[in-house]
């Protein structure tokens, strides 16, 4: 049981390049999230999904797109990378229950540097 | 919109000192509250959670937190810290009528001196 797996773990991009980060979970969770972690800023929610085929904007969605075509996968795309998107990206998943009384499980993170 | 504020950005303590980290949220409705810990180089792990009932909740490794509804607070405490508690601590809130949206605070870096 792998839990939440993020691919890749490290990446260096040039400004203007595009890339997709993959998050895969094998726990059959409905909810999935993408966060970015920056020093002094904590974790900021980029986008999230409450089920297959659904996505919603979080706190800092600009410059990112997401897709949830399969329940177990949540993809985060950067169409034209900018240095301001240099960050550590965390994916999380969470099972739904009445009233949201469940914890989130996190992946190991993806360290992205845009030069 | 819901938000979470952690006022202590960096706390430095000696071993055996007591710890209290502040967390305040802004949302008037019913919430689920969490504290997560991130050890250096690792991903986030759950310390404890509050959904309902007794406002004093106990988590792993001797941590506890108290939910004070009137103050919109969920402060984390530990009577006696250890060097191994050196980590970053995050408070998180999920407002029950906002579906799965889970918002984190800015984090508090705790450094414990041996």
DSSP one-letter string for A83-111? GGG-EEEEEEEE---GGG----EE---EE
How would you write the pLDDT of chain A (115 residues) with one tens digit per residue?
579 999 999 999 999 999 999 999 999 999 999 999 998 889 999 999 999 999 999 999 999 999 999 999 999 999 999 999 999 999 999 987 766 678 899 999 999 999 9
Q: Is the pLDDT of residue B93 over 90?
A: yes
Instruction: List all residues of chain A from 29 to 68 with a beta carbon under 8 Å from chain B.
Output: 30-31, 33, 35, 40-45, 48-50, 56, 58-59
Pick among A9, A25, A29, A43 to test the B interface (most B CBs inside 10 A): A43
Contacts of A102 (CB under 8 A, 6+ apart): A94, A95, A96
Q: Which DSSP helix (H) or strand (E) runs through B12?
A: strand B10-14
Backbone angles phi, psi at B97, to 5 degrees: -95, 15
Please name the member of A31, A90, A108 whose beta carbon is closest to the beta carbon of B100: A31
Q: Which residue has the tokens 């993809």?
A: A75
Contact list in B for residue A30 (CB cut-off 8 A) is 100
Mean pLDDT, range B24-34, rounded to an integer: 90
Residue pair A78/A22 in contact by the 8 Å Cβ criterion:
no
Mean of per-residue pLDDT scores for chain B: 93
State residue B51's pLDDT score: 92
Contact list in A for residue B45 (CB cut-off 8 A) is 106
Contact list in A for residue B105 (CB cut-off 8 A) is 42
Contact list in A for residue B2 (CB cut-off 8 A) is none
State residue A14's pLDDT score: 97
Backbone angles phi, psi at B75, to 5 degrees: -80, 140
Higher model confidence: residue A97 or residue B54?
Answer: B54
Residue pair B88/B38 in contact by the 8 Å Cβ criterion:
yes
């Amino acid at each position: 049981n792998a839990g939440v797996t993020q691919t890749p773990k490290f990446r260096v991009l040039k400004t203007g390049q595009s890339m997709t980060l993959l998050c895969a979970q094998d726990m059959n969770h409905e909810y999935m999230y993408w966060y970015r972690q920056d020093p002094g800023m904590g974790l900021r929610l980029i986008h999230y999904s409450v089920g297959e085929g659904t996505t919603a904007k979080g706190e800092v969605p600009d410059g990112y797109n997401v897709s949830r075509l399969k329940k177990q996968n949540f993809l985060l795309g950067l169409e034209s990378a900018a240095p301001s998107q240099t960050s550590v990206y965390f994916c999380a998943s969470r099972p739904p229950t009445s009233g949201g009384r469940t914890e989130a499980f996190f992946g190991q993170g993806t360290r992205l540097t845009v030069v | 919109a819901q938000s979470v504020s952690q006022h202590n950005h960096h706390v430095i303590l000696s071993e055996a000192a007591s710890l209290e980290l502040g967390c305040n949220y802004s949302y008037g409705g019913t919430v689920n509250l969490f504290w997560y810990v991130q050890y250096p180089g690792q991903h986030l792990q759950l310390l404890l959670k509050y959904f309902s009932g007794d406002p004093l909740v106990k988590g792993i490794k001797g941590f506890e937190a108290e939910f004070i509804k009137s103050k919109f607070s969920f402060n984390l405490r530990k009577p006696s810290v250890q060097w191994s508690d050196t980590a970053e601590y995050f408070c998180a809130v999920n407002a029950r009528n906002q579906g799965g949206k889970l918002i984190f605070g800015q984090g508090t870096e705790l450094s414990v001196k041996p």
